[in-house]
Amino acid sequence: MSLSGIVLGVINIAIVAAVLLLVGAIILWFCQWFGLAIPPQVQKLYIGIVALVALYMLVALLFGIPSIRIIGAPGGALRSSIGAFG
C-alpha cells in the first residue's frame, strides 16, 4: 500500500469518527432540549465506542483487511450467479 493510500485512509477514519461524534452531540443536544439528562458515564461510553471503531478501522487499514465487504467482491454469491448467466 502506498503512503498516499494510508494518508487517505487515516483521513477517512478521522471523518468517520467526527461524524459519529457529531451524531452523538446532536442527540445530546436534542435530549437536553427536551429536558432529558444523559449521564456522563453514558457519554464517556459512547466516546469510547467511537474510539474503538476508529481503532478497528486503523488496524484494518494497516493490515489491509477490508472492514466492509463490497457487493460483488470475489467470493460473494453475486459473482457466482453472474458467472452462471454470463
User: 26-78, pLDDT tens digit by residue?
Assistant: 999 999 999 999 999 999 999 999 999 999 999 988 888 766 666 665 655 54
Among 24, 22, 21, 8, which residue's Cα sits nearest to residue 57? 8
Alpha carbon distance 48, 42 (integer Å)? 10
In terms of pLDDT, which residue wins out, 5 or 18?
18
